Structures are given as C-alpha cells and as structure tokens.
Chain A
C-alpha cells in the first residue's frame, strides 16, 4: 500500500506525459487526478494506521540500489509518523491541486504535460518524504527541484518564466551543493547513508572533528550546517530566498502545491528528519533559529509593499517558513511540523483563492488594478478571508479554539519564548514583529482586492465571474482544513498526546524540550500574538478603507524604509552585482576569449584554417604547365640523391 501511494503518481505522470496525445487532454487529466485521489485516500489510511493507531509499519524494502564497497544501501520506503504526516499533507494538497487544475488550466493547450509534471512532482516529493537513506532523499530532493524548474517554466514562451525557472534552479543548486556536501560529510563520519545507522551512531561521534584543509572543524556542527544550507535553498530561507517570489511565474496551482504547501517545506522536513543529528549541535540549532527568525522578519517586511497578489503570498510563504525554521532551531520540531501541516492548508487555500481571483480578473495580478469585486466572487472572497484568518493566527488564547494557523503559530512563538535562550528571544521578537506585518499585508491584500472601488477597466470588470465548481469544491477541502486542522491536530502534534504521536521519529534531547516549556509561558506571551494580529488588521483597515490617503502618506514619510521593502531589500540587485554580473562577465570572457579565441582559434578553427590555407597553396602548385611538372620530378630526384649523399657523408 505504501508503495502504491508513492508509485501511483509516477504511473499518472508516465501515462499523462507519454500517452497524453492518445488519451486526450481530458483522459490525461482524469487519469492523473484519479490516481492521485486514490493515492491520497491510501495515505490517510496509512496515516491512521501509523500515527493514530500507532502501528508503525516500519520499512518496505524495494531492492538493492547500490553496493559499492562500503557504500551500500537499498530502495527503501520508511513509513514512520513523520512520514505519515507528510504523506497526507502532500497527497491531499496535491489531489486538491490536481482537481483544481482541471478548471484552472482549462484553456491551456498543454494540459497533459502540465498534469504529467504535477504528478511527477508528487512522486518525487513522496520519494523524498519516504526516503530511508540520504541518497534516496537526495533523489527526491533533486526530483522535486527538477519538476519545480519544469513547472515554473511551464509557459516556456514567456522569457520571464524561463528566467524565473533558471533562477530557481540555480539558486537551489547552491543549496543542493551544501546538501550534497553534508551527505558526503555524513558518509565520511558514519560510513553509511542509512538513517537508522546514522542516528544510532551520532551520540558516539558528538565530539568528532573533521579536518578540512588545515582547520579542525567540529564534525556534527559542520555536517548540520551543510545540510541546513540545502534546506535553506529548498525552503527559500534568507540569502537563498530570491528564487521563490520569481517562481510565481508558473501557473498558480503550481505556486500553491510546490511553492507554498509542499516542496518548499521539504527543507523543514529534512531538518526535522535529521533531528537526531541536529540535536547534538547547539551551534547549528542556533544558526537555524537566527536564519529562520531573520527570514520571518525580512520576508514579512517585503510582503508589506508588494503589489502583485501572488508575490505578497509568496513572501508570506517565505516568512512562514522562517517561523518553521526557528521552531526547529529551538528544538520544537513537532511545532514546526504542526505549522507545516496547517500552513499547507491555508497557504494552498490562499494561493488557489488568489488563482481564482486572477482567473476572474482576466489574468490580472496587480492588486492596484483590482478592488471592489467581493460581490461578484463571494465564494472566493470567503475563502480568502478564511485563509487570511488562519494565516494571521486568529483565535482565543488560552484555548484551542481558533483557526489552524492560530494553534500552530502561537505554539511556535511560545516555544521560542519558552526555550529561554538568547536566540529564542530574538526569534520570539522577530516572530511577533512578523505577526503584525503578516496580519497587515493579509488584510491589505483582501482590502485592495475585494473592497473599495473597482480599479480595473470596464471590460475586465464585466468579465469578473465566480470560478467553476471544479475549482471551488477542492478549495472547500482546504478551507475546512484551514479552520479545523489546528484544533484537531493540536493535542496529537504538540499537546499531551505528542510523545505517543511522534514516537521515535523525532528526537529531542533532555533539556531541549521547548514544547513543554511553551505550555508554561506567561499569559502575556500567549496574548501578544493575537493582539499584534488584530492590530495589523486594524491598521490595514485604517490605511486602505478608513483613511485611504494614509498609505501614500506613510510611504512618503518613511520613504527609505518603504523603498527598502518595495525593492525587496535589494537582494536581487545585490546578487546581480556580486554574483550574476561577474559570472556573466567571467563566462563571456572565457567563452569569447578563452574558448573562442584561444581554444577554438588555435585549436579546431586554427587548424582548419591552416589546413585550408595549406590546401590552397598545395593545389596552386598544380600550374598545368608540363615543364613545371617535369621540373618537380627532377627536383625530387635531386633532393633524394642529395639527401642520401648528405646522410652518407654525415
């Protein structure tokens, strides 16, 4: 059954991709969707079996993959609680997105290809989460990266989409390089890539060192940081986050599935999976916390001023991933997984809702050209409210009652506070600051899109319509999840049932138990986030509904800050200056001068030109005059005789 969950999407991808033209657009769509829904249902069964009933099935061996000396591992599906959670998240969101795409991609001429990529992505993602060794995880890791690239560049006739796809791929490559080095490091250290063997050996290697060049590096910390670099790339953490907003060039369902709900959370999942290693490195955890907190804060500030509806949500994703990472950093792995799960629901809902808006607005993405359409798209409007309420974390502190994001996000913030470390407090502060901004930009989005006067042209306005049922019904699943997932999951994920629920899949060392501490934080800590969120909502209302001139006035008053945010902290410009331009310059130089002038010029081209010149010379000897010919013959004889005598004499 576990194998079916993983391989059904592959079959769907195969059939839709290679036989799409035979079974037609509809056939491909329905085939891929059916298989995915099936896979989703099986996932839920497995989830109940493993996580709720506690029947940890263990592993499914699919055969040997590689056996090269000590480098020896299998194709193995690992189904523990952590995997089970990821299985339902991935397959459920993926199934929803598949069905939604039937409606969204209705007009696209390449739907079979789209569905093939989508299913292929799901397969790789499942491969990643079910991996039992680092190599298999890396396969899934790279596979989802590939599908992400393919899907961002799905509309390959748009230069911007191609540029975004390449950017995503290249930036991820930086992270993947770190991940690969981390895997190498682990193999050097533990002589295996199987998780169980690694985890068992970690305590014994806690003080080991790795010698790199002349430096003695603490081995565990080094490995963890390298793995984290991989996670940073995939999960768009600060410095490696620039690809994610650009990735919105892809079709909106792709943004929802890959760049919000699943793939970008792979980094979080990976670190959680490797918790038995990370736990042994205080330094690595501190770095993870700081990077996560910084990402949560910076991405939120950027989200404040963006005008593209999808970019706002993209930065929001970035910011929320930051939350997850600082949760991981303070050893609140279960809180991170909790937020990962709820986030998958409400962020997918927001994206798909945004997709519905874009669909309704005739492919307009700029919020400045929207407004006042709530009456025309009431269902979408409601969905966006639900998503935003969940994202902002609205609920009643002290109880479990609240939207999904409320339970998980507050848990993270409380855990950060409860960690009682300086990095924890920094993270808490950044998280609180990000919370108010999150609420602000979420309602800014809602107000700009649905309220006020319409700012689009007449024709677009006349076309505004509610999306078809095939798009709206899947959203209901997500909306339900966005409302109740937190309340349902709270006890099992981070509450009293936590230890029973997670079993051995997550390791938290003695003294790192920030979740436990989170339950005992002062009351003001519990109330602060909701206060911040409501403050953010109020501010957004004031600026965009109450006193419409205020936004512009503030932008003017705080111009430097506004520009910093609006220009995304100038990361792209900076990278362009530091990396892209020098790389292009170097590349162009090596190409034109190195390869073109020197290697080609002297090598193939030079030899060819030389040969051709020589050829002209040689055939020019053929003058056509008999006496020239005779002369050549005589000269030949003379040369040979002379040469012979010369050698003889010498």
Chain B
C-alpha cells in the first residue's frame, strides 16, 4: 500500500495508460461494428476522469517514482490544457473520420497514448523521464499523422515527421549525454544545483542540442520545416490536434527544462531563445502570406504564435512564464475554434482546404462567418479579442526585462501577420460568394465553434480566472 500511495501523484497518467491498454483490447476483441463509437466515447470518458483526478489531486507539489516524476501547479495547469486539447480533438474528429472512411478505433487510443506521453513530459523531473514521455508522445503522433494510410499526402506527412522527429530526438539525446558527461547528473534538482555557480561551454553546447530537440517539438524556426508539410498532409482533425496539445506539452517541457535545471544559465541561453523567437515570428508571419491552403496557413500561423510565446520564455521571468501560459491557453481556444470552422468547410461531401473556398461566407452562412471572423481577429491580436491579451502579456514581460528590440520586432511581426488573417476576413466578406457549404455542420463542431468564439470574444469581460491561475502555475516553476 505504501508503494501505491507513492504513485498517487501520477494517478491520472496511470489511469489513462491503463484505460488505453484496456480499450485497445476492447477494440480488438469487442464488437466490430460498434468498436469505434465505443472506444471513442470511452476515451473521452477517460479524459474526463483524468481531468477530474487532476482537479482533486491539485494543490502543492509532489513527486513520485523516486523523484522522476513531479506534479505541481505548473504541471496541473499544463495538463488541464493538454487534456482539453486532446478531448476536443477527439470530439472534432468523429464526423471527419467517418466521412473519409478512416474511422478506426485505434485513432482515439493513439491520441490517448500521446496524451499520456505529453503529461509525462509535463511532469518530468529527470532527463530520462523527459525522454520517455517525449518518445511516447512522438511515436503516437507519427502514426496518427499518417493515419490516412491510403492517402499519399498523409503517408508522406507521417514519414517526414518520423524521419525529422527521429533526428530531433537524436539531437536531444546527444545534448543530454553531453550534459550528463559534464555534470554526471540527470535529475533536474541535481542539475540545477550543479549550475549554481555557472557552467562550462560544453554544458551550453549540450543545452543547444537539447534546445534544438525541444524547439522541434514546438515547431520553432529553424526546426520548423516539418510543420507546413505535416499540417497540410495529415487528416484535418489530426492537424487540429497537432496545433494544440503537443505544442502545449512541448512548451511545458521547454519552460520547465530551461527554467528549472538550466534556470541559472539564463544569460547563456537567452540570446538563443531570442533568435529563435524572432526567426519564428518572421517566418510565421511572412511565409503565411503566400499560402492558399488554409491548413498550411494555419501551420505558419502556429509557427508565428510559437515565436510570440517564446518571447515570454526569452524574458525568463515570472511575468514571462505567466505570459506564455496565458498565451497558450488563449491560443488553444482560438485554434480549436478555427479548426472547428475549417472542419465544417465541406461542399458536396468533400472537404475543402483552400482559403478561397471561404469566399462569400458572410452571405451563405453569416453565423459561421461571425465566429470565424472572431477567431481571425483574435489570432491577429486585435483588441478586444482574447488574442490581443496573449500578446500583450508576453510583450509586457519582454519590456520589463528590457528586451525592447524583441518586443518591437514582435509587434512588427504581429502587424504583418494581421495581413493574412484580415485577408481571410476580407475573402469571407467581400469576395464573390461561392456555393454554400454543406449544412448543417456537425452538432459537436457547432458547439465547439460557438463556445470558443464566446471565450475569445468575452475574455475581456472576466480575464481574472485565467490570469490568476497562470500566475500561480508560473510561480510554481520558480518556487524551487
């Protein structure tokens, strides 16, 4: 029993992992016809149970598995977002998968396993635990990227992701081994203690390799190259999933690693993060202008947003981390909403992916036009929509630590990116109306659309819950 109580902090992960394996059995040996529906619903239920457990377990910080695993306010905040992202990704996938003829029970289970991996990443307190979670997540993601196995593009996307992902994992491992070589430690606490009085150049080189690996996961420039291809090739619900949950998990990892074990080396790595942030914002903003495919556009958009969020990390301060957390939460909501609209772009049963297909949406479907406009304005960071506040907090944190150039470049990139978001609004409103989309969009999609539209629109009315909890979560990272 004693051992059990020791594992208690990891209970949500354990439950998810176990239910994943049980559902796999159920899917294989259960009734053929109802397998997909059953497994999907059970997966959603598992997410909800995990969410509830996290809420119950919340409070204070605790470790498990001999300090390999840590749960604190930061981890809880991140896990809630990850679970929400995964939950909605599964919900949104239903109709699409059926329509494309790829509705298989493995899909929700793979997302489930990926989610477990992400939660492990968030709670990692040791370089090995980190790697373990990362790989569990990555392997699942490689598979679901290629989930439409009869589609050339989907397979290509999966393969590319896999090859490049393997490369990045290699870099990450290489970096870890260098660091282990210099310090002889894998535990975060030990590492942090080791760097108390500075570190040798070798350690920083190892850190650069680790940064490369982690930057790959959040698709920051120049480790972003896979993103547009994979986003475009993967089935749309998978893209939606990729654009939120793994990003959040990657950021959680990034933040914890950079600020916990390597927190003392801020001055060493700050410039690197600044360069990555600026490059990400620039590429995200510029390349998106040339895109006609909305999924590809969303890929560059997400690269740009990663750049904005990295400003908070570059600040390296409590306010910076809080800014990142607020940014990610808002980004999660608006991206989920935008993808709900994209998933409703269906004409004569075929999915549409060109932004020109949105032409005349304001006339054909004014409601959908309204929510999409809210998402685009929010993504562009136009007040009063939520996206503005996300940017506001990270820019503020950069200014507080006197990273003025970074803040100014961020604002400029934001201006450039406003162009392609507003162009979508323009296409929807001013361009000659095309044929209307099939109606109605799925019920769950509509609920998600309206819910997230309401959140991004009315965030300004009551921002306190998010801002406060982000503040608490950020503080947890600086407690040690």
Interface of A toward B, CB cutoff 8 Å: 611-612, 614-616, 618-619, 621-622, 624, 626, 628-630, 632-633, 635-637, 640-641, 643-645, 647-648
Contacts and interface: CB of A to CB of B under 8 A. Distances in A.
Contacts of A616: 290
Nearest to B221: A636
Contacts of B7: none
A615 B289 contact: yes
19 contacts: A611-B286, A611-B419, A612-B289, A615-B286, A615-B288, A618-B283, A622-B229, A629-B226, A632-B223, A633-B167, A633-B212, A633-B223, A635-B222, A636-B221, A636-B222, A637-B209, A641-B205, A643-B272, A644-B204
Contacts of B160: 626, 629
A621 B279 CA distance: 14
B268 interface: yes
Interface string B443-476: 0000000000000000000000000000000000
Contacts of A612: 289-290
Contact of A640 (B208, B216, B289): B208
Contacts of A629: 160, 164, 225-226
Contacts of B1: none
Nearest to A645: B201
A647 B164 CA distance: 29
Given A633-B225, A643-B271, A644-B201, 4 more contacts: A622-B225, A632-B225, A635-B222, A647-B271
A623 to B, nearest CB: 9
B8 interface: no
A648 B205 CA distance: 12
A626 to B, nearest CB: 5
B306 interface: no
Contacts of A618: 282-283, 286-287, 290
Interface in B54-93: none
B27 interface: no
A472 B372 CA distance: 66
Q: Which of A611, A633, A635, A643 has the most CB of B within 10 A?
A: A633
Contacts of B171: 633, 637
A619 B288 CA distance: 8
The 10 A-B residue pairs with the shortest CB-CB distance, nearest first, are: A629-B225, A636-B222, A615-B289, A619-B287, A618-B287, A619-B290, A615-B286, A618-B286, A615-B290, A637-B212
Nearest to A630: B167
Contacts of B167: 630, 633
Nearest to B283: A618
Contact of B211 (A621, A640, A645): A640
Nearest to A617: B286
Nearest to B166: A630
B11 interface: no
Contacts of A628: 225
Residue among A619, A621, A632 with the highest chain B CB neighbour number at 10 A: A619
Contact of B287 (A615, A643, A648): A615
B416 interface: yes
Interface string B145-163: 0000000000000001001
Contacts of A640: 208, 211-212, 272, 275
- The listed residue with most A CB atoms (<10 A of its CB), out of B167, B204, B208, is B208
Contacts of A614: 286
B205 A644 contact: yes
B164 A611 contact: no
Nearest to B300: A619
Contacts of B275: 640, 643
Nearest to B164: A629
Contacts of B164: 626, 629-630, 633
Nearest to B167: A630
A641 B271 CA distance: 12
Interface in B237-275: 268, 271-272, 275
Nearest to A644: B204
A632 B171 CA distance: 13
A630 B163 contact: yes
Contact of A633 (B222, B290, B419): B222
B430 to A, nearest CB: 18
Nearest to A627: B163
A604 to B, nearest CB: 12
Contacts of B316: none
A638 to B, nearest CB: 9
Nearest to B160: A626
B228 A622 contact: yes
A611 B415 CA distance: 11
Interface in B180-239: 201, 204-205, 208-209, 211-212, 216, 221-223, 225-226, 228-229
Contacts of B205: 641, 644-645
B177 interface: no
A622 B223 contact: no
